[in-house]
Amino acid sequence: MASKKKIEIILDEYTGIDELSIEDQLLVREAMRASANAYSRYSNFSVGAALKLDTGEIITANNRENASYPVSLCAEHAAIAYAGGNYPGSVIISIAICARKGEEFTYVPVSPCGKCRQVISEEEDRSGKKIRIILYGRSVIYISEGIENLLPLHFSSSDLLH
C-alpha cells in the first residue's frame, strides 16, 4: 500500500523591503530598475531580475517579448545567460525578481516560471552552491535559500546517471 510522502518547503517571509538586509534591498532595487527597461509590449507585465555574483558584480536583465509569443525570454533566464556568457566560472550567490503590471509593482511576489526554476536549478548544480532567491511583492517578500523550495524533486545532472 502506498504511503504519503510529505515534502516541506521553507520560505522566509517579509512584509516590506525595509525589513531586508541592505544587500538584499540593493538587489531588489536593481531588479526594480531593470524592470523599467523590459520589452513587454504584449503582456505589459514587466519583469526585472538582478543577480549577485561571487565576484561582487551585479547583473540585471528584463523580459524580452516577441510577436511570436513563445519566442519571448524571461528576465531571470536573460540575466543568467548574460552572466554565464560574460563572467564564465562565476557563481551566482543571489537573485532578486520583481514585476510590474504597468507602473505598479505586483502586490504578491512574482513567481518564477517552471522553465526559469529549471535554469536556476542548473546554476546550483553547476556551481554546487545554493542560490538565495528573493521574490518581491508589495505586500509580501519571499526568500528561499536554494531552488529546492521552489522546485521540489527537480531534475538535474545526477538523474541522467541512473
Distances (CA, A) of 137 to 29, 31, 44, 119, 129: 12, 12, 17, 22, 25
Helices (H), the chain: 22-35, 75-86, 114-127
Q: Which is nearer to ligand THU, 18 or 104 (CB)?
A: 104
Residue 45 vs 87, nearer CB to ligand THU: 45
Shortest Å, Cβ 75 to ligand THU: 4
Give the residue with the Cβ less far from ligand THU, 54 or 107. 107
CB 43 → ligand THU: shortest distance, Å?
4
The residues that touch ligand THU, with contacts defined as CB under 6 A, are 40, 43, 45, 47, 63, 65, 72, 74-76, 112-113, 116
CB of 4 to ligand THU, least distance (A): 30
Residue 128 φ/ψ region, left for φ over 0, alpha for ψ in the -120 to 50 degree band, beta for the rest: left
Q: Choose, from 76, 122, 124, 148, the residue flagged as catalytic.
A: 76
Please say if 76 is a catalytic residue. yes
The CA-atom distances, in angstroms, between 117 and each of 42, 77, 137, 149, 161 are 23, 9, 18, 10, 21
Cβ 47 to ligand THU shortest distance, Å: 3
Identity of residue 162: H
| Residue closer to ligand THU (CB basis): 9 or 55 | 9
Q: What are the residues whose beta carbons fall under 8 Å from the beta carbon of 37, sequence distance 6 or more?
A: 62
Instruction: Give the catalytic positions in this structure.
Output: 76
